[in-house]
Amino acid sequence: HTLLFQRSSKISKLFRLRSKMMKRIVIAITSGVIVSEIMWQLYKKHKRSRKKVINTSNFNCNGSVEQLCNNTEAKILEVMFFSQDSALCRPHLKCMQPCRKQNCPIRYLKKIIYYLDSAIHTLDICLYFFTFVELAEAVIRAKNRNVVVRIILEDSMTYTDRSRLMTFCKEGIKPVVKQLDVLVHHKFVIIDNNILITGSINWTKSAFFGNFENVLITNESAIVKPFIYEFERMLTMLTDTETNSKNSEYS
């Protein structure tokens, strides 16, 4: 009897241990399934919301930029650098054919023009100096497509022989010229409140073909929105200043 009792006790312990192990296995499997499902749902959510980051420095200029601008799922991020070597490419400006150099200013210029040509609704420009004919022509094309074009320029640089001010006025685009004692030294362009072009560069041939300059192009909302706010703030301030100045003259 004692032997049977001992055996039954051992069997009972084994069953209890087995039962505990089975419970642990079930809990582990259930937890694994739940965690896997959570991870899968998070992955799908991330995949849906993820925007593909594209550096357009590897794009050619045969329509790739237009396709990129029309692709709202693509995040645009590009940095351009100009240097004294850019002057070597200036003779190619007439044919607008970029050379094999990765940082060819003609290639950069064509990309910027493509971005301007992609404008559908609005084109906001705030520049210190604007003399580049090819870029001015892209702005005029935008106006002819019924894009709302608004331009802020530094007044001390608008009455030079090469300034595009009179060209814009003839085409029905009236730039706002600052009436302040400080310089408008900004260099940025906003396309459709979505794409920002900014940097150190003035829109002049000497800047594109000879200076050390930089350009950043992006549609990152956190970067674009402050520039939208700054443009609207400046436009309101300069418009109010111009109105007050005219009222003072009449009075």
Catalytic residue selected from 185, 225, 240, 246 = 185
Cα separation of the two ends of the chain: 123
Q: Would you call 185 a catalytic residue per the annotation?
A: yes
Rounded Cα distance between 213 and 224, Å, is 20
Rounded Cα distance between 77 and 196, Å, is 10
Catalytic residue selected from 110, 111, 178, 187 = 187
User: SS3 helix, strand, coil % of the chain, rounded to 5?
Assistant: 55, 20, 30
Q: Would you call 187 a catalytic residue per the annotation?
A: yes
H helices of the chain, in order, are 2-49, 64-70, 105-117, 133-144, 165-170, 205-208, 221-250
Degrees to nearest 5, angle at CA 236 with 233 and 240: 140
Q: Would you call 186 a catalytic residue per the annotation?
A: no
Phi, psi of 19 (to 5 degrees): -65, -45
Rounded Cα distance between 157 and 180, Å, is 13
Integer-rounded Cα radius of gyration of the chain:
31
Rounded Cα distance between 188 and 230, Å, is 10
Q: List residues with catalytic annotation.
A: 185, 187, 192
